[in-house]
């Protein structure tokens, strides 16, 4: 099941992320205030609360574990250096962090337009990969892994703006409103980017398949 | 609803709240009789499954622990520097305040001393003036006070202190030129500021050859 508590995009108000109840003293804005005064534990709590969602977003956008790590680090470095950058009137701490992450991702993509294929590793150094289930034969596992690789490559091949819309609305499963809020774009722009992104993605996936279904139907 | 419209709405059909119910019903009706759009929907559903699988693949992804370590290190360094910086700023302000205080006190002291000096001078001047006035008054006609500058030889001699009035018929008048300070030797008050002035006086010399009285004489030139 998808974890809701760490998803910055789901964070409507500070400290109320997903379904998890957070003690009033542990609200994001209060943690940030404490961190600005030098409370390391408050900073660590804030980091742990948001790093997963930011890391996943960066990872899905860049396709690079190293790049995602660098981006997450940059985001929190910014928070350490300029905690006063946060303005409660402009949104939640989660939204601020996501905004910084988004900028860093775009810069990263400009610098390195095409990363090598994602090969994510777990903390212990093992590959994340696909979890083998009892019903899977090795052949099926290889096939599925190959297909995942193709899907990942197709997503990473999308232009950055379309990719962002696809990552947010399809992989992160944000609503259009949430995506619009996070990117600061009108909802129509998100819909339009998503429409074009989906079309490109679909075409790419169809092309990668041995038997394109639409072509078959057209015939 | 035509194929183009359905194509636009297909990805939103299995998404809650993304399409309104009327559009959804129209699209479903179209899909039931259009094999091209039905194939498109099937393709999209497959793609969405794959995207979902891709999403699940990275669902548990987290930044490595080393990121937190680096950030904590940076946090500590940053805040240690900030504390030191803040202490330096406080110390600088304290020093500046102390310097201003010392300056203010010195200035106040200097002004006080100057005022005191001016007061003393004023008092000395007024005392001198008072002395001169008193001397003038003592001299009656003003012939030998410190402020005397002119006299006449109308015969108004001032007896010298300590002399006994004597027969003056045979006394002689002797005109001498001397410094004003010499009047002091005759027991008369002298204005110290004008002590160096040269004056002409007439001395009334008695039979015994000692001056009995004195008067200022007009300068001849």
Its ipTM equals 0.70
Q: Closest residue of B to A175, CA-based?
A: B18
C-alpha to C-alpha distance for B118 and B123, rounded to whole angstroms: 8
Return the pLDDT at B149. 40
Q: Is residue A7's pLDDT more than 70?
A: no
Contact yes or no for A128 and B75 at CB 8 A = no
Residue B221 in domain: no
| Minimum mean pLDDT range among B167-176, B185-194, B206-215 | B167-176
All structural domains of chain A, each given as residue ranges with its CATH number in brackets, are 1-116 (1.10.1740.10), 129-219 (1.10.10.10)
pLDDT number for residue A12? 37
- Subunit contact A171:B74, Cβ cutoff 8 A: no
Instruction: Indicate yes or no: CB of A59 within 8 angstroms of CB of B58.
Output: yes
Pairwise CA distance, residues B128 & B122, whole Å: 10
Full residue range of the structural domain in which residue B201 is found: 158-216
Among residues 13-52 of chain B, which lie with CB inside 8 Å of chain A? 17-18, 35-36, 39-40, 42-44, 46-48, 50-52
Same domain membership, residue B119 and residue B178: no
Whole-number Å distance between alpha carbons of A164 and B91 = 50
Q: Report the residue of A36, A46, A51 to disrupt the B interface, i.e. the one with the largest count of B CBs within 10 Å.
A: A51
One domain for residues B51 and B70: no
Q: Which of A68, A194, A202 sits opposite B43 (nearest CB)?
A: A202
pLDDT tens-place string over residues B142-165: 444 444 443 444 457 888 887 776
Q: Are residues B129 and B83 in the same domain?
A: yes
| Six-digit token string for B4 | 């183009």
Q: How many domains does chain B have?
A: 3
pLDDT, tens only, A11-36: 433 443 444 566 666 788 888 888 88
Confidence of residue A54 (pLDDT cuts 50, 70, 90): very high
Nearest CB neighbour to B54, from listed A51, A76, A171: A171
B83 and B52 in one domain? no
Strands B198-205 and B211-216: antiparallel
pTM of the model: 0.59
Residue B66's pLDDT band, with cuts at 50, 70 and 90, is very high
pLDDT (tens digit, 9 = 90+) per residue, B85-127?
Answer: 888 999 999 999 999 999 999 999 999 999 999 988 888 888 7
Q: Of A51, A168, A100, A102, whose CA–CA distance to B62 is shortest?
A: A51
Q: Show residues of chain B in contact with A83, CB under 8 Å.
A: none
| Residues A189 and A165 sit within 8 Å (Cβ to Cβ) | no
Is B46 or B93 the better-scoring residue by pLDDT?
B93
Single out the residue in B21, B38, B57 at which a domain terminates. B57
């Amino acid at each position: 099941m998808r974890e809701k508590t760490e998803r910055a995009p789901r964070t409507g108000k500070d400290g109320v992320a997903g379904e998890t109840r957070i003690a009033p003293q542990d609200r994001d804005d209060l943690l940030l205030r404490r961190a600005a005064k030098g409370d390391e534990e408050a900073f660590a709590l804030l980091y742990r609360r948001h790093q997963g969602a930011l890391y996943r977003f960066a990872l899905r956008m860049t396709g690079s574990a190293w790049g995602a790590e660098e981006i997450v680090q940059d985001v929190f470095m910014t928070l350490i250096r300029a905690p006063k950058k946060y303005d409660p009137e402009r949104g939640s701490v989660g939204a601020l962090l996501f905004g910084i992450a988004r900028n860093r991702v775009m810069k990263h993509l400009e610098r390195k337009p095409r990363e090598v294929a994602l090969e994510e590793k777990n903390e212990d150094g093992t590959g994340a990969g696909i979890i083998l289930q009892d019903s899977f034969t090795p052949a099926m596992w290889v096939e599925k892994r190959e297909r995942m690789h193709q899907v990942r490559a197709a997503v990473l091949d999308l232009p950055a703006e379309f990719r962002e819309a696809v990552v947010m609305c399809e992989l992160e499963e944000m609503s259009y409103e949430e995506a619009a809020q996070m990117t600061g774009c009108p909802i129509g722009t998100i819909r339009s980017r998503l429409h074009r992104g989906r079309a490109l993605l679909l075409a790419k996936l169809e092309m990668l398949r041995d038997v394109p279904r639409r072509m078959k139907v057209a015939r | 609803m035509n194929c183009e419209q359905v194509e636009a709405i297909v990805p939103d059909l299995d998404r809650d709240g993304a399409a309104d119910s009327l559009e959804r019903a129209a699209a479903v009706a179209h899909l039931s009789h259009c094999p091209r759009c039905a194939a498109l929907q099937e393709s999209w559903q497959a793609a969405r499954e794959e995207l979902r699988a891709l999403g699940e693949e990275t669902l548990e992804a987290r930044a490595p622990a080393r990121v937190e370590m680096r950030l904590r290190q940076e946090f500590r360094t940053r805040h240690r520097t900030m504390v030191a910086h803040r202490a330096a700023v406080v110390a600088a302000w304290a020093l500046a305040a102390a310097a201003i205080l010392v300056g203010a006190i010195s200035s106040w002291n200097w002004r006080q001393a100057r005022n005191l000096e001016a007061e003393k001078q004023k008092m000395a001047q007024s005392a001198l003036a008072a002395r001169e006035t008193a001397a003038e008054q003592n001299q009656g006609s003003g012939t030998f006070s410190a402020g005397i500058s002119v006299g006449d030889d109308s015969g108004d001699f001032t007896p010298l202190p300590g002399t006994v009035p004597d027969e003056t018929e045979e006394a002689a008048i002797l005109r001498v030129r001397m410094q004003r300070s010499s009047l002091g030797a005759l027991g008369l008050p002298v204005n110290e500021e004008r002590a160096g002035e040269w004056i002409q006086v007439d001395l009334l010399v008695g039979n015994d050859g000692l001056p009995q009285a004195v008067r200022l004489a007009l300068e001849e030139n």
